[in-house]
Each structure stands twice: as structure tokens, then as C-alpha cells.
């Protein structure tokens, strides 16, 4: 940091949480390299978002100082937040359009999982093909995962509106030839949703490559899947993700 770019002081825990979530995405292979970002709504018109700095090293090396406070138009919401060469993501409208439309959302994840992209391009949709293997993922897939059919950089509100229209009220949308967007009430939930979609896409590719047929879980089996609760589905699952990184949790 330079004197012109003071380390942000406010919302320290939230910045740390977003930075950790970026590292989880990278460790899981959903955001390899320097592409991908996570945001968290702080107030009606402000959000924390992973920005690119002058010493960019990729999502796997994200730190709290890479998380900056901006408004819905990408302007710094606090003095110094975009100092020192930090810039907002080109696809910031992807985040802000969802926040403008959906008051139920606080966190948005954008990632580039190769298995999700490959499965979609192969004509394989995200379906509830497993059961107790991943109960939250199965329930998510059973309700449908829509696809935004354009492989574009979502760099303005017009394109973001198209993506949001495709997503509708669902928590995840696949972006053809691009990746996915996952949104939820917490950063942790949004990342875990993306991991589930990636896992299902990977299994679908394996089944198809082995010559098998994708078959949805029968309704009778779906009815037997219990809701293990947020403490397990999110809390315990997230501690596991941080532990995989060797981080304190």
C-alpha cells in the first residue's frame, strides 16, 4: 500500500470473508487465473467487490485489501477505495443489476468453471442426477438452472439485464461459453451453490463420456432427502472449505 492508497478500515470482517471466498473458488478450480469476482451488498446502494489492483496475482491470492467499497455505478463509496491503481471488475454490472432487481440477494459470485462451460456446450443441462451425494445441489438442480445463451462479457446494464432476465428468480444461471453467476443471502451460500453446480456438471460429463444416460432422481427418492439445515449445509460445509485451504475456521 502507498500513502495515496490507505488500507480500507471499515467492514473488515466482510472484506476478509469475501477474500477467503475468492480463495475457495480458486482452490476448487472454479476461478483459475485472474478471472472471477465476488460482491456483497452493504447498503441499498453500496457493495463490497473484489477489485483488481496494480499487483494483481489472481483469485487464489486475494487479500482483504483487494475488496473495495463502491456504489452501484462503480464509483468509490469511500475516500481512497479506488486509489493506488485499483479498478472495479469490467463485469460489475452483472452484480449491480441483480442488486437493483432483487432485494432478497446480498451476495453475488461470478466464476469460470471449465466443467460447467464444457457440460453446457455439450448440451448437458444441470439436472438432479444424484441424491444424498449432494442434497442442497440436488434440490437446486431439481428446481432448474437456467442458461444465458450469449458468450459475451457482461460489461453494461443492457447485457446484465439480459442475464438477469434469463436467471429470473433462480439462485444460479449458467453463462454459455463463459461461466456462471450464483447469488444468495450470504457469500458462503453463493459460493457453495456454485460448487454444487460445478460438481453436478462434472458428474454429467463423466457419465456421458462413459456412455451412460443421465437420469433424474426419482420423485420418491427426492421426497426422502432431508433438509439438514443451514448450520450443516452452510456452516459446516464452509468450515470444510476453509480447512481445505489450511485456514483457521
Beta strands in the chain (DSSP E): 37-43, 46-50, 67-71, 107-111, 147-148, 172-175, 179-184
Q: 458428474: which residue's cell?
A: 203
Q: Are 229 and 135 in contact (CB under 8 A)?
A: no
Q: Which of 91, 97, 188, 241 is catalytic?
A: 91
Contacting residues for 247 by C-beta, under 8 A, at least 6 apart: 20, 23
Active-site residue flag, 91: yes
CB-count burial class (<10 Å; 0-12, 13-18, 19+) for 246: exposed
The residues carrying an active-site annotation are 91
Amino acid at each position: 500500500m502507498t500513502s495515496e492508497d490507505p488500507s480500507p478500515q471499515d467492514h473488515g470482517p466482510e472484506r476478509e470473508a469475501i477474500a477467503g471466498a475468492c480463495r475457495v473458488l480458486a482452490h476448487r478450480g472454479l476461478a483459475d487465473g485472474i478471472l472471477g469476482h465476488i460482491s456483497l451488498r452493504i447498503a441499498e446502494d453500496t457493495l463490497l467487490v473484489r477489485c483488481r489492483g496494480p499487483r494483481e496475482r489472481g483469485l487464489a491470492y486475494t487479500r482483504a485489501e483487494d475488496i473495495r467499497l463502491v456504489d452501484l455505478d462503480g464509483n468509490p463509496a469511500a475516500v481512497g477505495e479506488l486509489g493506488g491503481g485499483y479498478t472495479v471488475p469490467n463485469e460489475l454490472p452483472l452484480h449491480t443489476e441483480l442488486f437493483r432487481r432483487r432485494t432478497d440477494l446480498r451476495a453475488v459470485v461470478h466464476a469460470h468453471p471449465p466443467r460447467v462451460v464444457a457440460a453446457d456446450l455439450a448440451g448437458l443441462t444441470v439436472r438432479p442426477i444424484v441424491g444424498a451425494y449432494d442434497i442442497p445441489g440436488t434440490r437446486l438442480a431439481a428446481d432448474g438452472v437456467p442458461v444465458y445463451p450469449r458468450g459475451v462479457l457482461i460489461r453494461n446494464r443492457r447485457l446484465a439485464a439480459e442475464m438477469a432476465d434469463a436467471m429470473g428468480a433462480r439462485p444460479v444461471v449458467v453463462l454459455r461459453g463463459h461461466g456462471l453467476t450464483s447469488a444468495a443471502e450470504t457469500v458462503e451460500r453463493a459460493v457453495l451453490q456454485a460448487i454444487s453446480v460445478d460438481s453436478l456438471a462434472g458428474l454429467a460429463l463423466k457419465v456421458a463420456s462413459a456412455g451412460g444416460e443421465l437420469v433424474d432422481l426419482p420423485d420418491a427418492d427426492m421426497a426422502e432427502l432431508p433438509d439438514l439445515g443451514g448450520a450443516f449445509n452452510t456452516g459446516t460445509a464452509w468450515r470444510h472449505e476453509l480447512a481445505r485451504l489450511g485456514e483457521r475456521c
